[in-house]
Amino acid sequence: MDLLRIPSISADSRFKEDVKKTAESIADHLNSIGMSKVEIFPTEGHPIVYGEKIISEDKPTVMIYGHYDVQPPDPLDLWDNPPFEPIIKKTEAHPQGAIFARGSCDDKGQVFMHIKAIEILNSMGELPCNVKFLIEGEEEIGSRNLETFVKNHRDLLTSDIILVSDTSIVSNDCPSITVGLRGLSYLEVEVVGPNRDLHSGVYGGAVANPVNVLCQMIASLHDENGKVTVKGFYDKVEELSAEYRNEMNKRPFSYENYCKDLEINATRGENGYTVIEQVSIRPTLDVNGIWGGYIGEGAKTVLPSKAFAKISMRLVPHQISSEITELFKAHFEAIAPECVKVKVMPHHGGEAAVVSTESIGYAAASKAMEEAFGKKPIPTREGGSIPIVAMFKKILGTDTILMGFGLDSDAIHSPNEHYGIFNYLKGIDTIPRFHQYFAEMNEGKV
């Protein structure tokens, strides 16, 4: 609860001190559960927290990665309780109660499960593996400085497996392990018309309105089948086999409940794919924000000089973030009418990740979850992104296990984010089992 009270909003520089305080709090926790070499590494952005417990050189090492930074809580008025004043309330999905606060699920609550799980193991002298903690403060802004840190600390970050709880399960009675994440390409566009805001009566009709133009340009980025029209966008997308897709679609899913929960009458996506596929194995393009012209109270008859949008594309394996950004830029410039100038400014990005189900790490996670939930978990691919997962593989050569415990309905990044008490406790129950089985299965191998 104390951790949730600190507003560690990485995107907003006004909260820099709070982000730092959160790093300090994480470091204090790592010290208090008996970790050694606990250190806060400053970066050009927000600090990275490290801690470890090496019990034996002969034992395998699990590195726990997570993030203590959170998304901005806006819009504040849509929260039933203030985002940084955590409270416990019951919901339909969480009859045992859930903690409502920004970061409760993504990802402070899930990081804290690991702290508590390791505390238990360590205090009983039963740590089966060496453990390392790497908890960063810039995940929500693209892990900007973590990449450099990982490159400069290869030895410190050596491990046999990286364990991450920053994803979801299908439901509390259908445990799952995430075996795929999408990549991301994020950019901002600017459409510039006349050199100043104009009277929309005096000039309207003759001078191009950049907001109108931007809307047309954005509308043209999808065709009537819901495909992204950016030239070359699908070139590297792998078409998965019918068998694979069939298997994916066997997970419990109710279209009706999905729509009901979101209060929509129907979904809209790429034709020929199910909702499960649309949000996991298919690439997408979405406007995240759009602005321009007058948005204050009342009316102002203005023909704005500029219009802006933030656009992101979710990517699938083999699509390369930087390439997609270039393709978008070329396409957007090509479709711009002569009456405006356009600028495309890339933000962050990252590659997709896939996790093998044929590894000791997966087997250990599966067995741990099966024991804790009383049900064998199914592998699922998710639509969110954790760019550092592909980076870990590239820089360190280490695989990651994505064993998260949130629910899609936990409202991460939205108002009223929450995390189920059931999920929190189930995580603390599952994690020690993972360490135990990971150690045992590694010994079996030798």
Instruction: Kindly list the residues in this chain that would bind Mn ion in the complex (CB under 5 A).
Output: 106-107, 166
CA distances from 175 to 12, 257, 263, 374 (A): 35, 19, 26, 9
Active-site residue (options: 18, 69, 166, 399): 69
9, 28 contact by CB (below 8 A): no
Residue 227 CB, nearest distance to ligand BES (Å)? Answer: 22
Site stretch for ligand BES (CB under 6 A), options 55-63, 356-364, 384-392, 393-401: 384-392
C-alpha atoms less than 13 angstroms from C-alpha of 50 in its C-beta half-sphere = 14
**Residue 168 found at the interface with ligand BES (CB under 6 A):** yes
Nearer to ligand BES, 52 or 382 (CB): 382
Amino acid code (one letter) for 18: D
- The verdict on whether omega for the bond into residue 73 sits within 30 degrees of 0, i.e. cis, is no
Nearer to ligand BES, 168 or 430 (CB): 168
Nearer to ligand BES, 305 or 423 (CB): 423
312, 288 contact by CB (below 8 A): yes
**Residue 159 found at the interface with ligand BES (CB under 6 A):** no
Nearer to ligand BES, 60 or 349 (CB): 349
**Residue 350 found at the interface with ligand BES (CB under 6 A):** yes
Residue 401: in which H helix or E strand, if any? strand 400-402
**Residue 140 found at the interface with ligand BES (CB under 6 A):** yes
Residue 62: in which H helix or E strand, if any? strand 61-67
- The verdict on whether omega for the bond into residue 107 sits within 30 degrees of 0, i.e. cis, is yes
Residues near 358 by Cβ (< 8 Å), separated by ≥ 6? none
Residue 138 CB, nearest distance to Mn ion (Å)? Answer: 11
CA distance 124 to 118: 10
- Residue 382 binds which one of Mn ion, ligand BES, none, with CB within 5 to 8 A depending on kind? ligand BES
Active-site residue (options: 18, 52, 107, 139): 139
**Residue 384 found at the interface with ligand BES (CB under 6 A):** yes
Q: Which residues pair with 279 in a beta bridge?
A: none
Amino acid code (one letter) for 279: V
Residue 386 CB, nearest distance to Mn ion (Å)? Answer: 7
Amino acid code (one letter) for 216: Q
Residue 402 CB, nearest distance to Mn ion (Å)? Answer: 11
Catalytic residue flag (residue 69): yes
Under rule CB under 6 A, which residues in 183-202 are in contact with ligand BES? 184
Site stretch for ligand BES (CB under 6 A), options 26-34, 43-51, 165-173, 250-258: 165-173
**Residue 382 found at the interface with ligand BES (CB under 6 A):** yes
- Going 415 to 48 to 110 to 282, the CA torsion angle's sign is positive
Nearer to Mn ion, 61 or 110 (CB): 110
Q: Which of 319, 310, 284, 313 is nearest to 390 (CA)?
A: 319
Residue 411 CB, nearest distance to ligand BES (Å)? Answer: 11
Residue 58 CB, nearest distance to Mn ion (Å)? Answer: 33
CA distance 225 to 240: 19
The residues that are catalytic are 69, 139
Give contact residues for ligand BES (rule: CB under 6 A).
106-107, 139-140, 142, 166-168, 181, 184, 348, 350, 382, 384-387
